[in-house]
Structure formats: structure tokens, C-alpha cells
Copies of this chain bind each other. A is one copy, B any other.
Amino acid sequence: MKVKPLADRVVIKSLEVEETTKSGIVLPGSAKEKPQMAEVLAVGPGGNVDGKDVEMHVKVGDHVIYSKYAGTEVKIDGEDLIIVKQADILAVVE
């Protein structure tokens, strides 16, 4: 199945991130509070949203930080995806 987000919505998938503590210990993603980092899987067309013109600034493949608690979780083909509005994406990580 292919998910095509409407308007200013973006489909993302949480990333497991490894993290190195200051003392050099590597914590795998599941051993700590998961940061809200995700990969962009699909981007809506933007355009007129609630009477305002929205331009999309993220693209498929971007790694992004999104607002905790934002968005709707959906399970598609056994995969846990999140659909958020672009305004709930805080930053792109490179």
C-alpha cells in the first residue's frame, strides 16, 4: 500500500538512534527514552490549507525531529507510521 498524505501532511517513520554518552558508552535506541527523530516517507502537496498557502520544506528521505505527542499513528502493511502536519516538524538533521 502507498500512503499519499493530503494537504500539509507528512508521513514519517521513527528512527532508532544510537547515542554515545559523554563518557563514551553507546546506548542503543531501545535502551533509553526514544528521541523523536524520524525519516520522511511521503510529503503532501501543500497548497491552500485552512485558507493559508503552505509551501512544503521537507522531502522524502529527510531525517527530521518532530514534536512529541503530535501526529496520528497508523499501522500500514505491518509498519508503524506517523502522519504529522509539516508544522509539527521542528528541524531537519543532516
Task: Report A's interface with B, CB cutoff 8 A.
Answer: 1-7, 9, 11, 19-22, 35-37, 42, 44, 48, 50-55, 57-58, 65, 67-68, 72, 74-78, 83, 86-87, 89-94
Contacts and interface: CB of A to CB of B under 8 A. Distances in A.
Q: How many copies of this kind of chain does the complex include?
A: 7
Contacts of A83: 65, 90-91
A32 B37 CA distance: 27
A78 to B, nearest CB: 6
A29 to B, nearest CB: 12
A10 to B, nearest CB: 10
A20 B78 contact: yes
Contact of A93 (B3, B44, B52, B90): B3
